[in-house]
Amino acid sequence: MLSAEGLPDEERPDREVHRTILGVLERHFGLTLPRGLVLEAPLPAVLLAE
């Protein structure tokens, strides 16, 4: 799926690559997040301890 989007591509800016990867993951797993919630809501914190 990533190769269909032209990745990997060392010439593309990191931000664009990140956005493309997130789009592929969103489509593959059927994920959707409301844009306003993502941009303005506080992010939950998770602590992982061994």
pLDDT in tens, 1-50: 989 999 999 999 999 999 899 889 889 998 887 778 777 877 777 767 76
The contacts of residue 26 (CB under 8 Å, 6+ apart) are: 32
- In a domain? residue 19: yes
- In a domain? residue 25: yes
Q: What pLDDT is stored for residue 36 in this prediction? A: 80
Tell me if 3 sits within 8 A of 20, measured CB to CB: no
Q: What pLDDT is stored for residue 12 in this prediction? A: 93
- In a domain? residue 45: no
- In a domain? residue 15: yes
CA distance 31 to 40: 19
With tokens 């061994």, the residue in question is 50
The contacts of residue 25 (CB under 8 Å, 6+ apart) are: 31
Q: What pLDDT is stored for residue 16 in this prediction? A: 92
**Residue-range definition of the domain harbouring residue 24:** 3-36
When divided into structural domains, the chain yields a total of: 1
For residue 12, give the amino acid letter. Answer: R
